[in-house]
Structure formats: C-alpha cells, structure tokens
A and B are shown apart, each in its own frame.
Chain A
Amino acid sequence: MKKLLSVLLAAVMVATLLAGCDSDSNGGTSGGTTGGSTGGSDDPVAITEVVELRVLNYYDMSAAGALEEQSVIWEAFEAANPNIKIIREDEFEESFHDSVNAYAAAGALPDVMYAWPSGRSTTLHSQGLLKDLTPLINRDGLASKYIALATDPSQQIAGYQGIIPQGVTATNMFIANLEVLNAVGLTPATTYSEMVAQVPVLRDAGYDTVIMPNMASWVMQSCLYSLIVGRFMGDGWHERVLNGETNFTDPAFIASLAFVQQMYEDGVIPASSLAIDYGEGPGLFATNTGAYYIDGDWRVGAFLTDSTTGEALISPDRQDNFVIGVFPEIDLPGVAIPGRTNSAVLGTGWGINANLADGSPELEAAWTLVKWLVGLEVQTFRLRTGGISTPSIVGIDYGALPLEPLQVSLAGLGAKYDVATVVVDGAFASTVYEPLNEQLQALGLGITTPEAVAEIIQAAFEAWQATQ
C-alpha cells in the first residue's frame, strides 16, 4: 500500500509540474518587431473604448518639478482623455536604460517610451523598434509648430523620425559658484590656465575646484569631453572621421585625450570624482564643496525650487551667486578653437513602439499621448521647472513664466558660444563611444595613456566600420 501511495504521489507531482509548465504557455508576449514601421493613416482613428497604454517614463526624482509632474502631466492627460488609461513605469538613469534594453531583448517594449535621438537609445532607432512618426506629424500638420531640427529625420541616428524631441540640449553647462570663489578671493576663471592657478588656493581652503559626478562613465564623454574634442579637432570633426579624412589616432585627437589626463593631473578635476554618483553632484555643489560644477544643461532643474515643498537646493536668493556658462577657453598649443564652443544635440523626447498597428486605436491613443508630452503645456511646464532649457516647440510665452535667476542665467547660455560641435555618443555607434567612455575614466585613474586610448578607439571604430 505504501509503495502504491508513493507511486501515486510521484505521479501527482509530475502532473502538477507539467501543468504548471503548461499554464504559462499562452501568456507570452508577442516578440515580433516590425522594424521602424511608418505610423499613421490618412485620418485620425476614433478611440471608442478604453485603451490601456504601457508607458516607460524617465523620472528624475531629484528634479524640482518631480512631484508636480504627476498632476500637471499625467493626471491632466488622463482627465482630458478618459478613454486612455496609462500604466506607467518610472525609471531613472541606468535602471531606465537597463529596462529599455531588457524590454527590447524580450520583444516587450512599452507602447510609449522616453528616448534619446541617438546615444543610449541607438538600439531603439537602428533596429527599427520605434515607429516612424513622420506620417503622423504630416497628418496633423505639426511640423510648423516645432523648430526645424525637431522634425528633421536626418537629425536622428537611424535617419527616421523615431521620436519627437522636447528640446535642444547643450551638453556642457559650467557653473561658477561665486560664494566659494569670493570666500577665497577669486573670480571665475576665463581660461584653463586660470583654473589651474586656482587649484592650490581652493584646495588649501578645503574646496574642490570642479565638482563633476563622474562615476557613470557617460558623464565625462557627454558633459565635457565632447566639447574638448570639438575644440581640439574643429567643427565637423566627426564627419571627417566618418568619411576617412582623419582618424582617432590623429595628433589632435590624442591631444584632446591628453588634455583630459592633464585636468586630472592638475587637480582641476579630482580623481575622487570617479566615485561620485550622478545623483550626488547637485547636492555636493549646492552645499559649497567646490568652486565649479560641470554637467549638462538639463541638470539645472535639480537646483530650482520644488513647487510642492517650496524648497530648493539653491534657493532663489542665492542663485545670483551662481553663473552659468561654458567651459573656459583652453589656452594650450594645438587647440583649433580655444573657446566659445559647446557640444549640443537634439534633446530627449518621446517615441511609440513600432509594433502598434497602423490605424489601430492603440496607435491613435499613443500618438495622442506623445503629442501631449511634447506639446505646449508640457514643454512650458518643463521649461518652468528646469527640465529643458531650449524647447522644441514654438510659441511659449516666456514673459508669463515665473523663472528663477538660475533659469534666466541658463537662458543666456546659448549666447556664450558661437559654435556647437557634436556630442560623441550622438555621432558614433555605441561600440565606439562605450570604449571611449571607459577609457576616459582610465585616463583619470592614470592606468593608460592618450596614445593607447586613441589606438583602442580607432580599433573599435574600424571594427564597427567592418560591420557596416
């Protein structure tokens, strides 16, 4: 009897297991991609029933308008569109990119997603995972409502309109802290040599010269090195590399890398910056631990007053002590354009999953949401809360906005440079810029040389070329 029971028990276990395995067999998500399919039909589709949209949002909780975003953007949209229900996932920084890549690998991308026009979102564009929005833009006559760059498909990495950007981004924002500088009797440096001369004075007083959260490897490349390489190699340098007129072992490129190394050796950028997380930078700077801060223009929002709490990392009455500009003139031999340049790229924006069928209510709902997210109200909100500095939409009434002194200072950033060179991760494939990101950190650690880095990047570039 016992033996019979044990046989029956084992049989039940096997049956249960197999049933468990089977129960999920119909639950999978279709993994097929249609590859950059063109969106839209001739006429808008009526959304007669409730449509659920999965949305992946890039949510910086440290930004001044973070909490307000819930009501101003998301709740307002759902109130105005009762037939569209949003299931939103908020992510920030690396976890956002991890989620996107995991979803892309699983063929389960959300319906609407935040994305870059290139850089970390290259896969979404180059593998056609985003809908081509040009037909929808044309259908609704939106082109005239945006600056020309925003609706120019050639500005995006795969040459089609994968996203509608919500602005143009200057990736170098150099803030001088007059509170710190005045405390030690200094004025903002206008050249690199002046900065170097300030290092011992600041160090003796217990300050870092530059606060730069370099732990994430993209920060140096995006927020400073792109500007540096542009100044050393001149405007349009990336095109000369891409068409073979020059390469990454060119002396000017090596000199740009040597300058990064020199900044670490001179103590202008401390090696300890390699251990500062991206989220920590604004807090360190606002508490007067350093004289200068380097980041992208999008980061100014972290310093502004949060309307829900009334608190700011740098309160408006202090903000006049913080001057926004671009990195000082590099007064070294061999520099093609010493100063007044910045690195700029189309800003981030919103795209739609290429799997949404043309003419479907789901696509219409997604397009309605995207139009809202890059529309006048939302861009005005982003501008007011420091989320963007140069909006992509035209018609914003700046005079009506209660801008804080730092925002006014940021608005003047464009006048402080004459030339905008490319951002490396917007001009080259990730197989080229990712080794560069890492090697820029290696220069900071002092474990490599500019020549060795140049060889590595050239090899990576040639390997990428071979795959094209």
Chain B
Amino acid sequence: MHMTMKTQKKLSYALLVLPALVVYLAVVAFPTIFSVILSLTNYNGGLIFGNPDIEVVGFTSYRWMFTEPTRSFYTSLRNNLLIVGVSVFGQIPLGFILAYILNQKLIKRGRGFFQSMIFLPYVISPIIIGVLFNAMIINPRSLYWEVARFFNPDIQFTLHSNPMLPVLFVILWMFTGFYMIIFLAHMQRIDPAILEAARIDGANEPRVLRHIVLPAMTSEIVTCAILAISGSLKTFDLIYAMTNGGPAGQTRVLSLFMYLSAFSGAPNYPLANAISTVMVIISIILIVVVRWAAKLFDRHGGYGK
C-alpha cells in the first residue's frame, strides 16, 4: 500500500504526539476528572470500583469546605494568595532587576559569583530549606533569636503576630534566582546594537529599560507570571517542612489542607478531592486573568513585540 507524503507526515506526527498525549491523559487529565467525580461521592478509602457503598452525595464536601467552623479553607486560600502576591509582585520584579543589573554589567567584579549565589537557593531541596529556616528563624532558640537577644535581652518572640511572614520571606529568597536566570537568558538575546544605538541617541538607562528591554521581554514576563501563579498554588514541601501549616493552621496552604484532609486523623477523601478541584479552578482563573491582562496591555500599545 502506498501512502502519500501528506498521509505519512500526518501519521508520523500523530505517532510522535501519541506518547505525550497518553501520558498527559493518564497522569493529568484522568486524575483531575476522577478527582472531581470522587469529590461528589462519599468515597472514603478502600476499593473504588465495585464498592456498593459508594454513593453520590452531591456538593456536600464543597458545602462543608466553605462553611466549616474553623474556616481552614479561607485561611489556606488567603495564604496561597499571599504567596501568589509575593511571587508575582516580588520574585518577578526582583528577578528582573537582578537580571538587568547583571546583564548591563553594573557590577564590575564577581558577576558569576553573584549569579550563582542568587540562583543557588533554587537548586536546594525545599525540604532542606524548610528545615534550615525553621532552625534559623522560627525556632525561639535559633541563631537569629539568640543574636537578637544578645543585642536586646527584652526582645520577645514574635512568630505569633504574623506566622506567614517568615514563610513569605523564604519563598521570595528561594525562587527569585529562577526568574533572574530566565530573564537574564532572554536579555542576552537582545541585539546589543539596538541598545547602543539608543544610548547614542541620548537615551538614559531608565529609558532604555522602559522602551527597549521591557517591550522585548513581555512574553517572558507573562510566562514567568503563569509559572509563578501555578507554582504558588502548588506550594507544599517547603511549608510542610518549615511549619507543617502551624501554628493553629495559620501557615496552611490549600495543598497542605488537602493533604491533611486526606491523610491526617480520620481521612476525608471527598473533602480532599473537593479542595483539589477548587485549586484547579482557581489556577485556571488566575492564568486566564494573566493572559487577558497581557493581551489587554498589548492592545494598548504596551510591551508587545
């Protein structure tokens, strides 16, 4: 049988795409859809298929999640949004500025060293960082508090006033290097002749940044924002190791709330599945908002390429 070139091309594309598609369907799409289904049932462990005791109970778990007396969902959501805020409005601008400083060679010596130091936290396991910062900042007998007490013996431990602050600081410190590397790689691709021409025409550094560098980086900024948002909603390991969501659940995030609902004390799988479904929905909404904002900005003559 003879295949036309077009058919051969289509077939080979299809076969090349198929493995990725199968993997995607198996490990992303199917669990997501199945999780939504389980969130509407009373399934609470044991056999899933062929268990006559599983019943569809509608939105019971969702109602409980939104109305339960300790308001864990809202605390977790607030913390996730704080992390999104620190990621989008902290890590990305800071990463951009650091990349710009390094790219423009504003630091004359030790550029490679600074680049490595800023990126280093990203390659360390979040579990190690969590344990490290627990010992360094959170623990009342930590180095930080011992030094603070040395200078001011009356200083009181203040974790209880805002438990999320140390977590947000660590998140800012840990991931800024990642965005810096992305921005730096793309900044290095901007034609130096264009920058030089602008400077010859009398543009100062802020004008070069505003009118040349930023417009050239729009798509990278949007990509980083999407990565930051999705990463923020998935935050788990660092907080698990650093505070385990405590004290009093004040540093809990949605993924940890989901985990604790599923695996702590009496398991509540329907609730855990309901939380994960809401996480997916929030994630999709935030990413759509970011893309919409980027398009809107583009349309108004913003940083579009």
Contact = CB atoms under 8 A, between A and B. Distances in A.
Given A13-B19, A102-B263, A430-B265, A445 B46 contact: no
A3 B12 contact: yes
A126 interface: yes
Nearest to B153: A206
8 interchain residue pairs of minimum CB distance: A10-B15, A430-B265, A272-B140, A272-B157, A441-B248, A442-B248, A274-B247, A101-B263
Among A97, A126, A438, A459, the most chain B Cβ lie within 10 Å of the Cβ of A438
B140 A275 contact: yes
Interface of A: 3-4, 6-7, 10-11, 13-14, 17-18, 21, 31-33, 94, 97-98, 101-102, 104-105, 107, 120, 122-123, 126-127, 206, 214-217, 270-277, 280, 284, 289, 429-431, 434-435, 438-439, 441-442, 444-447, 455-456, 459-460, 463
B5 interface: yes
Interface in B206-261: 244, 246-250
A217 B262 contact: no
A297 to B, nearest CB: 23
B69 interface: yes
A438 B160 contact: no
Contacts of B267: 101, 104-105, 123
Contacts, number: 141
Interface in B1-34: 5, 8-9, 11-12, 15-16, 18-19, 22-23, 26
Given A7-B11, A101-B267, A435-B70, A17 B23 contact: yes
Given A3-B5, A6-B12, A275-B157, A215 B265 contact: no
Contacts of B248: 217, 274, 438-439, 441-442, 444-445, 447
Contacts of B22: 14, 17-18, 21
Interface in B247-299: 247-250, 262-267, 269
A275 B141 CA distance: 9
A435 B69 contact: yes
27 contacts: A3-B5, A3-B12, A6-B12, A7-B8, A14-B19, A17-B19, A21-B26, A32-B47, A33-B46, A122-B265, A123-B267, A217-B246, A272-B159, A274-B159, A274-B248, A275-B157, A275-B247, A277-B139, A431-B265, A438-B70, A438-B249, A442-B248, A442-B250, A445-B248, A446-B160, A459-B69, A463-B64
Nearest to A123: B266
B157 A455 contact: no
B139 A101 contact: no
B160 A13 contact: no
Interface in B24-79: 26, 45-47, 64, 68-70
B14 to A, nearest CB: 8
Contacts of B70: 435, 438-439, 456, 460
